[in-house]
């Protein structure tokens, strides 16, 4: 498997020289500074790729080439947006960058309610607290329908929280929910988020799937022509939030994605953390189910609570059997080697580490520390070596 590391370019305080010391061989990056829907110019791609190469790495995966909200909503004449996306793909392919990770989550990317929840020993992690998310939806956004989206005891606790917290606490919660990914995308205040949500009125699961299928119909033929592989990232969290449907949350959803445009280049980013946050998901079993279409992997772990809350665990300590999952991925690689496939090795990266030790002294991107991910990579590297040795 190809050990890789997510790097945010000029938005990242972690340098490529530091990444080199982790032992990773590949870089996962994107042009986060470019607003959604704009073409990634050949010049900008070459500049980024040259920096990656000069540091001794290969740019192995684009994460991500984002999809404009108009495409997700199916709004208006989308000809220009699809053309821009295809041109960006062509410019990437010309530089030999052939794997694109993307998501189809409406409006928000990954969502958490606490970016620095304490864990044992003084480290911190990303956490999704169901009570706080319910309070955000019901009492800050004023979305009364959200009372039906959470268990009754969570709704009761959310009301108590909303009555007893300060404006600073509310602002911190809004900041966490809006954290998403760094780069040129919209962050909202409460009024702005309410307005953005209204633009999704009438878009249910069926409509969102139809818009996603249109995206695949427009993009996958170009990927085939360019020799590229597209791999959708599962929803994070894998449940509807803010009244918006999520359609890439479990094994059945992944089956639908792969069948919506049945092509080897239409694939999956196997994110063990996103899928693992759904109690109904058996992540190693889902991985085995879609293994031949896994083009990229995010390896991380989560620990779940009965009320729907979850937090990032250490890579080998959460609810997902990481050893079993790695066995599935290595078995798939062996099959690909035997079949003579060009994509024999699966790139993976350690995802969402704990902020620990000297990470606390730096203003690092939430979920993307240096020491915490180094720990995760070392643990995953050890599991891979043991499984390959037959242990």
Alpha carbons 105 and 69: distance in angstroms, whole number: 9
Catalytic member of 8, 200, 271, 315: 271
Q: Which of 235, 236, 253, 351 is catalytic?
A: 351
- Please confirm, yes or no, whether 351 is among the known catalytic residues: yes
Give CB contacts under 8 A, 24+ apart, made by 368-377: 368/6, 368/8, 368/12, 368/14, 370/14, 370/18, 372/123, 373/5, 373/22, 374/22, 375/314, 375/315, 376/299, 376/300, 376/314, 376/315, 376/350, 376/351, 377/3, 377/5, 377/22, 377/23, 377/24, 377/350
Rounded to whole angstroms, the Cα distance separating 56 from 20 reads 8
Query: Choosing from 68, 298, 315, 354, which is the catalytic residue?
Result: 298
Integer Rg of the chain from CA: 20
231 is catalytic: no
Catalytic residue among 132, 295, 352, 354: 352
What is each CA distance from 187 to 73, 161, 176, 178, 180, in whole angstroms?
A: 18, 24, 11, 6, 9
CA distances from 366 to 66, 131, 213, 304, 353 (A): 20, 21, 32, 20, 9
Of the candidates 68, 132, 233, 354, the residue annotated as catalytic is 233
298 is catalytic: yes
List Cα–Cα distances, 93 to 78, 90, 117, in angstroms. 23, 5, 40
**221 burial level (CB within 10 Å; 0-12, 13-18, 19+):** middle
- Of 98, 96, 99, 40, nearest to 269 (Cα)? 99
DSSP per position, 74-128: T-S--HHHHHHHHHHHHHHHHTT--EEEE---SS-SS--SEEEEE-GGG-EEEEE
Active site residue 271: yes
Q: For the residues of 242-302, what is the DSSP string, one character each?
A: TTB----SSHHHHHHHHHHT--TTEEEEEEHHHHHTSTT--HHHHHHHHGGGEEEEEE-EE
- Catalytic site residue 17? no
The catalytic site residues sit at 233, 271, 298, 351-352, 368
């Amino acid at each position: 498997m190809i050990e890789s590391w997510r790097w945010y370019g000029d938005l990242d305080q972690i340098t490529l020289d530091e990444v080199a010391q982790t032992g990773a061989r590949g870089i996962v990056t994107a042009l986060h500074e470019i607003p959604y829907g704009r073409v990634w110019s050949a010049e900008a791609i070459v500049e980024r790729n040259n920096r990656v190469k000069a540091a001794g790495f290969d740019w192995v995966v684009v994460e991500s080439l984002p999809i404009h909200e108009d495409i997700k909503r199916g709004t208006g004449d989308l000809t220009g947006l699809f053309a821009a996306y295809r041109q960006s793909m062509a410019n990437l392919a010309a530089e030999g960058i052939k794997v694109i990770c993307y998501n189809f989550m409406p409006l928000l990317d990954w969502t958490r309610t606490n970016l620095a929840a304490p864990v044992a020993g003084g480290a911190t992690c990303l956490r999704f607290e169901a009570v706080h998310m319910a309070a955000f939806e019901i009492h800050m956004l004023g979305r009364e329908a959200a009372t039906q989206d959470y268990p009754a005891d969570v709704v009761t606790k959310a009301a108590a929280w909303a009555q007893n917290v300060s404006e600073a606490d509310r602002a911190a919660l809004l900041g966490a929910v809006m954290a998403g990914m760094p780069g040129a995308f919209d962050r909202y205040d409460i009024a702005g988020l309410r307005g953005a949500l209204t633009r999704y009125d009438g878009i249910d699961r069926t409509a969102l799937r139809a818009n996603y299928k249109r995206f695949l119909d427009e993009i996958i033929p170009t990927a085939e022509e360019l020799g590229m592989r597209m791999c959708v990232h599962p929803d994070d969290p894998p449940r509807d939030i803010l009244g918006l449907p999520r359609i890439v949350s479990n094994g059945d959803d992944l089956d639908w994605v792969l069948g919506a445009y049945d092509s080897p280049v239409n694939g999956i980013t196997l994110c063990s953390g996103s899928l693992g946050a759904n109690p109904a998901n058996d992540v190693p079993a889902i991985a085995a189910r879609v293994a031949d279409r896994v083009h990229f992997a995010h390896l991380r772990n989560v620990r779940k609570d009965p009320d729907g809350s979850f937090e990032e665990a250490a890579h080998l300590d959460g609810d997902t059997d990481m050893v079993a999952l790695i066995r599935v991925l290595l078995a798939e690689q062996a099959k690909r080697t035997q079949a003579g496939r060009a994509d024999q090795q699966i790139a993976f990266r350690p995802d969402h580490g704990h902020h620990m030790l000297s990470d606390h002294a730096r203003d690092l991107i939430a979920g993307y520390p240096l020491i915490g991910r180094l720990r995760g990579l070392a643990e995953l590297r050890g599991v891979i070596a043991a499984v390959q040795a037959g242990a």
